[in-house]
Amino acid sequence: MRKICFITGTRADYGIMVPLMRAVKESDDAQLQVIATNMHLSQEYGMTVNEIIADGFDVDARIDSLLSGDSPAATVKSMGLTQIGMADAFERLRPDLAVILGDRYEMLAAASAALIFRIPVAHLYGGETTEGAYDDCIRHAITKLSSLHFTSTELYARRIIQMGEEPDRVFHVGSLGAQSIREEKGLPLQELEKAIDFRLGEKYVVATFHPVTTQPGEEERQTSALLSSLDKIIAKGWRVLFTMPNSDTGGRTVATMIRQWAQSRPESVKAVASLGRLKYYSALRHAAAAVGNSSSGLIEAPSFGIPTLNIGDRQKGRAQGDSVINCGVTEEEITAGLERVLSDTFREQARHCGNPYEKPDTLQSILQPLLHYPIPPTKPPFRDIPG
């Protein structure tokens, strides 16, 4: 029986992996292991390890690695703590395969530790580009530390092969999040409002804004411009449901500004550390639009048939559908973007746009290689492109 270890550090990667984790747990061919780290173990970010447990999963190892600061020094120290914790966890659990999603710094630490332990890594969603964050470099580094690769688009699969990976280890599978959206009904609006203790009504947007790590020192100016623009739609009767930023460098500055802004507008704004997967997807389902610079606005929001206002450069280079509008980071640009995405014309148009990340049978396309693909304990050789 193959021991498959899922490593999760945030509400975001966990929310996407839940169906896959459940399928592995229910399989007769595998034993599920779960390692929780980083934001999952922080009260500041909602102590979301409790959501993992509430979903019926055992957490086999907890690695408390998040420091109280978000400076570059604190981030690098957090990576070191993650590696120390991974050494202890891998020594005890001895998984046959580690599953990592995404591009965050704690996942680079985990993948590096797995390499030294000769544990093959299955990486979800490499090959993507996000030019506005150092996650871009981390993602490609994790690709080179991994043995199995699952991509959300065909272009991303080709990029991984271009990086020297064997084509038969690269699988174009589509987005797990997009498939989950199609299969789950979510909460009715009134139940969602009760769950978050806030009346959303029929006119609200879901907002998420992260620091742009390639533009240090700009987070205060950019966040201020966004909040001023949101004030203008609030004056027209709109409400805002904010999910807080992640633990990247500069994230605490953004979070403090959002929290103070929300507290001064209690009738119009609700800010939460973490909604969890069910409430987050339910919020998008009933929302008029997604606003901010989260990858969710490009990958998942289109499957709900709602428009996305993608602000700034954080997601620059990532594939996007016709329901996504891009804008700059000034108040004038964001205000104009909000007017467009909230217009009746564009909202109706977004209902009929496709999602480039959707693909049939995503779950099974990932599950079967995880369960059955023969994986050697060492990294395969670099494959040159013919010609």
Residue 185: its pLDDT value, please? 82
Q: pLDDT tier at 68 (50, 70, 90 boundaries)?
A: confident
Q: What is the predicted pLDDT for the residue at 183?
A: 78
Does the structure show a pLDDT above 80 at 220? Answer: yes
Mean pLDDT, residues 168-175: 96
Give the pLDDT of residue 237: 98
User: Residue 384 and residue 270: Cα distance in Å, rounded?
Assistant: 52
DSSP labels for 119-168? --EEEES-S---TTSTHHHHHHHHHHT-SEEEESSHHHHHHHHHTT--GG
Residue ranges of domains in the chain: 2-174+359-372, 186-350
- Give the pLDDT confidence score for residue 251 in this predicted structure: 86
Q: What percentage of the chain carries pLDDT values higher than 70?
A: 99
- The mean pLDDT of the chain is 94
| Separation CA 39–CA 65 (nearest Å) | 9
Q: Do domains 2-174+359-372 and 186-350 have the same CATH topology?
A: yes
CA 102 to chain centre: 7
- What letter would DSSP give residue 242? E
Q: What is the largest CA-CA distance in the chain?
A: 63
What does the block give as tokens for 201? Answer: 């009504």
Residue 376 binned pLDDT confidence (cut-offs 50, 70, 90): confident
Per-residue pLDDT at 217: 84
**CATH class name, domain 186-350:** alpha beta
Out of 14-18, 134-138, 383-387, the most confident range is 14-18
Q: What is the pLDDT of residue 121?
A: 97
Tokens matching residue 110: 């985990």
- pLDDT in the model for residue 248: 79
Q: Mean pLDDT over residues 151-166, rounded?
A: 96
Lowest-pLDDT range, 115-124, 146-155, 250-259? 250-259
* Model pLDDT, residue 214: 79
Model confidence at 282, pLDDT cuts 50, 70, 90, reads very high
pLDDT at residue 216 greater than cutoff 90 = no
pLDDT, residue 140, reads: 96
Report the pLDDT value the prediction gives residue 163, as an integer from 0 to 100: 96
Model confidence at 212, pLDDT cuts 50, 70, 90, reads confident
Is residue 379 over pLDDT 80?
A: no
Overall pTM surpassing 0.95 (yes/no): no
Does CATH number 3.40.50.2000 belong to domain 2-174+359-372? yes
- pLDDT tier, 368 (very low <50, low <70, confident <90, very high otherwise): very high
Binned at pLDDT 50, 70 and 90, residue 375 comes out as: confident
Q: What would the mean pLDDT of 291-320 be, rounded to a whole number? A: 95
Cβ–Cβ under 8 Å, residues 332 and 226 = no
pLDDT of residue 312: 96
Say which residues have a Cβ less than 8 Å from residue 322's Cβ, sequence separation at least 6. 349, 350, 353, 354
pLDDT band, residue 346 (cuts 50/70/90): very high
pLDDT band at 165 (very low <50, low <70, confident <90, very high): very high
pLDDT at 331: 98
